[in-house]
A = this chain, B = another copy of it.
């Protein structure tokens, strides 16, 4: 049996994050010790490691919630899980495309600046005028982190 701190250390997840996951129902309520401290077993560690890994791969908590409930039914077909993964792949590919364009623009900006006064700075100039950009990098819609 692991305390929350050991569990977090094993899974690479901070203690408040574990409590947060429990609060939003991603982890089941942990059993408690006599002194009211959470205690975890091997299954909880596996589940938390799954969450951590999926987060590392950029899945949202909502997607992870679905993946977890799928993995709780091992006899079901896996098409739904695969669809979630493919959607995540598509999302990553979209971000990749956008970041590639951003990188190109940022490189252009910093390379073109010859380093004088702000009034002549190419960085400031380009930021003020998208028509100076070489690509259409504008923000289409929603994203999030990884």
Mark A residues whose CB is within 8 Å of B: 12, 46, 49-50, 53-58, 67, 70-71, 73-79, 81-82, 84-86, 88-89, 92-93, 95-96, 98-100, 102-103, 105-107, 109-110, 113, 115-121, 123-124, 127-130, 137-139, 143-146
Bound-state CA distance A139–B88 (Å) is: 16
Chain B proximity of A52: nearest CB distance (Å): 9
| Chain B residues near A100 (CB-CB < 8 A) | 96
Q: Which residue of the partner chain, among B73, B76, B146, contacts A98 with CB atoms under 8 Å? A: B146
Please tell me how many copies of the chain the complex holds.
2
Known: A103-B92, A118-B81, A146-B139. A127 touches B54 (CB 8 A): yes
